[in-house]
Structure 1
Amino acid sequence: MEQRGQRTAAGTSVPGANRRGLWGPVIGFGLVSLAADVVSDGARPLAGPLLAQLGASALVVGLVTGAAEAAAQGLRLLFGPWADRTRRYWTFTLAGYGLTAVCVPLLAVAPLAGEAGLVLASVLIIGDRVGKAIRSPAKTVLLAAVAKQVGRGRGFAVHKSLDLLGAVLGPVLIAAVLAATGSMSVAFAVLALPAAAAMFMLFWLRLRVPSSVPAAVDALPPPGAGRPATVFTRGFLLFAVAAFFWSAGLVAFGVIAFHLTTTAGVPVAVVPLLYAGAMAAAALGALASGVIYDRSGAAALLALPLLIAAVPLLALAPAAGLAFAGVLVWGTATGIQDSTVKALIADLVPEGRQGTAYGVFAAFEGAGALAGGGLYGSLYGSRPLLILAVAVLQLIAFSVLVVALFQIREPQRGRSARTLRQD
């Protein structure tokens, strides 16, 4: 075992004394993500109950939450290339986190806004996810730059673990506040504290590493210089089409939370705890599917449409026990979607075009989420039809995915599967 140093991505040995300094920016980005996820994921399970309290129907809840997820995914097609073109990665990162830090705590005033409360809440819920789209591509470039010196596999793994910790702590915090006060407005207002902490750490990080990050970013080839082969291979496009169909069938958690509180009789204070459990299931699903992917290849993803097909059958059941099981299945599916799916994209696409590939793929997922929001919102009142519709969508997704896997033909698994697993 190496005691005195650590190999960097460039192959040089880093003395132990300097290693801690190199890890600082990586951990800093991880702590920013942790605090931001306390805010965003703390509020996310309350979106459905809040909209219902403000008078929204299941259709409106489905449309708003579907549009939010569509914005989080689809707008990356705009902001990713924009950040590459301008090289203003810090600007996009700060703006994206800032939008989340403002929008989520402001949800506290929505119940006080009278008839305008529903519109205000809808705009703020979507605004939070727009912030995700703005910051995600740029933040990934910055994180890749600082993680290079410690090894991107280890660096991204540490960042992801801190990110998931925030996704669990946020709902637990909200559940505690709801149990103590019974007020969603107070719960949203409390999230202003981790929001401020996230922005403080981000500005501190910007001042702390003003040289290493821009230097690494400036070393990237200019846009259009020496661009490798196109990302639009037949296998990639078929994979993206499959993603559209599985995204269209993945019921948004806002609709699940709406069902839990209005039909299954689950107290609002319990919903964030269920979401925290879903995030834990997401972590396990990501880990399990990642191990299977590294060992057996992309066929591991064939489980994804099957899991998604089971979500409405369980999560929208009238019995709370089945609904709880459905929440865990939902979490497992989202974990696979957020990790192993990205690993396969990284293996399919040349490194110089991965940013474009992620933007295009996210657009397909976002379009599916938007279409699905209207579908399961309108069919919520007739759950057998909803279950059937999701099953048909997943049958199509499974079939297209099988064809895509035949087209892929032994991608180079693991080349960056451990370095690009994040939101």
Structure 2
Amino acid sequence: MGIVSLFADITHEGARSLIGPYLGLLGASATAVGIISGLGEFIGYGLRLLTGYLSDKTHRYWLFTFLGYGMDLFAVPLLALAGRWEIAAMLIIMERTGKAIRKPSKDTLMSYAARNVGSGKGFAIAEVLDQIGAVSGPVILSLILLFKSGDELANYRFAFAILLIPALITLILLLISRLNFPQPEKFEVKEEKINFEGISKSYWLYLVAISLIAAGFADFPLLAFHFQRIDIFNSTMIPFMYAIAMGVDAISALIFGFLYDKVGVTSLIIASSLSIFFSPFSFLSESSLLVILGVILWGIGMGAQESILKSVVADIVTPEKRGTAYGFFNAIFGLFWFIGSAVMGILYDRAIVSLVVFSMIVESAAVFTLFLLKSKLGNPLN
């Protein structure tokens, strides 16, 4: 499933690197681009609450996974045929909807196998493979556009059409996984040390912690906007900063994922404590080296979010409720990410220092809540 994510992310992230300019070439305004992107993310996270519940009620995890992948993967190459920005916008929303349909079920399927080898280790390895695809997709399309001459719009359409190849590979790999492991719930290890019934009180406390983590963590586009405004890096270096962050993301996901299987929630506390300081280094420093340190700390936070956050859900929620739990987890995380991003954008325009203070206070509150969670769980995750 990690390799499935690798090829899927070549498709998704490759497309995301071009969607903004492509919509502009089709005649969309900046306002339209912002609304389309925001609505897509809101649907992509919010709908997971419903699809997670339905997957648990029906136990058709593979079905939801196939439906979601089929919808979002084919929406991407179909962008090559869009003659108007409104049609492209519908396909972008379709791609995000597909992700919402399959994500809780896919995470549940992953959790069964991950619990067998160690939740932290399993999700960490999947995240590393995922990030390889996330970096490869934009690089591949950049090379296509670099070496292809002719009309710019035609070149973009050709690039989207090429993404049909990794999309088909993804579905073939998914089918192979389904044929080989039709009942992945059999991977689940029965352990007496965790005896929560369904969705426990610990899960709700955990939701408070992840909500605070999401609210205090800035989107990279805001970081990139700041780097460009203060002219600390030239325009060609900003994408390289993102590449650095994604590389750190992959490495930290692996490190903290393995550490999670050793020390439990403590690993998330360590990662979150380190990432508290991404905002002062990134937004207040005038030294490029310190800014790079801020980007590295940001990448550490992202890596922990992508591996450990899912691992904790797998360990504190029983298998039959896990799809619902992942759906609600993703919906709440996305909502507070949106709220926090909006607040930090407003604070940035007023005073950058206020953004940094907000981020550090909220992230510190998240760490405090994680300490409460660790105390409540006692030994089960340690």
What one-letter code is carried by the residue in structure 1 that aligns with 2:248? A
Aligned runs of 1:161-180 on 2, under 5 Å? Answer: 161-180=128-147
Equivalent residue, structure 2, for 1:33: 5
Equivalent residue, structure 2, for 1:131: 98
Question: TM-score, length-normalised on structure 2?
Answer: 0.75
Aligned runs of 1:12-51 on 2, under 5 Å? Answer: 29-47=1-19
SS of equivalent to 2:197: coil
What one-letter code is carried by the residue in structure 2 that aligns with 1:74? G
User: How many pairs align?
Assistant: 365
Shift of 1:364: 1.6
Shift of 1:281: 1.0
Q: How many percent identity over aligned positions?
A: 35
Which blocks of at least 5 consecutive residues in structure 2 are unaligned?
Answer: 189-194
Aligned runs of 1:17-416 on 2, under 5 Å? Answer: 29-47=1-19, 56-57=29-30, 64-108=36-80, 113=84, 117=85, 119-143=86-110, 151=117, 159-181=126-148, 183-203=155-175, 205-206=177-178, 208-209=179-180, 212-214=181-183, 229-233=197-201, 235-256=202-223, 267=235, 274-302=241-269, 303-304=271-272, 307=275, 310-311=278-279, 314=282, 326-378=294-346, 382=349, 384-385=351-352, 388-389=354-355, 391-409=357-375, 410-413=378-381
Which blocks of at least 5 consecutive residues in structure 1 are unaligned?
Answer: 1-28, 221-226, 415-423
Q: 1:274 to 1:379 in 2, by over 3 A?
A: same
Per-residue Cα deviation, 1:175-205 (whole angstroms, up to 9, x for no partner):
3223224754443332222112222333455
Q: 1:315 to 1:101 in 2, by over 3 A?
A: farther
Q: 1:241 to 1:144 in 2, by over 3 A?
A: closer
Equivalent-residue separation in structure 1 for 2:221 and 2:156 (angstroms):
15
Q: 1:392 to 1:275 in 2, by over 3 A?
A: closer
Which 10-residue stretch deviates more, 155-164 or 392-401?
Answer: 155-164
SS of equivalent to 1:277: helix
Per-residue Cα deviation, 1:14-59 (whole angstroms, up to 9, x for no partner):
xxxxxxxxxxxxxxx34322211111122334455556766654x7
Equivalent-residue separation in structure 1 for 2:275 and 2:124 (angstroms):
25
* Contact kept? 1:44, 1:254, Cα under 8 Å: no
User: Which one has a larger percent helix, Structure 1 or Structure 2?
Assistant: 2
What one-letter code is carried by the residue in structure 2 that aligns with 1:349? V
The alignment yields a C-alpha RMSD, in angstroms, of 4.1
Question: TM-score, length-normalised on structure 1?
Answer: 0.69
Equivalent residue, structure 1, for 2:192: none
Equivalent-residue separation in structure 2 for 1:248 and 1:77 (angstroms):
19
Per-residue Cα deviation, 1:263-285 (whole angstroms, up to 9, x for no partner):
857557x7665544332211122
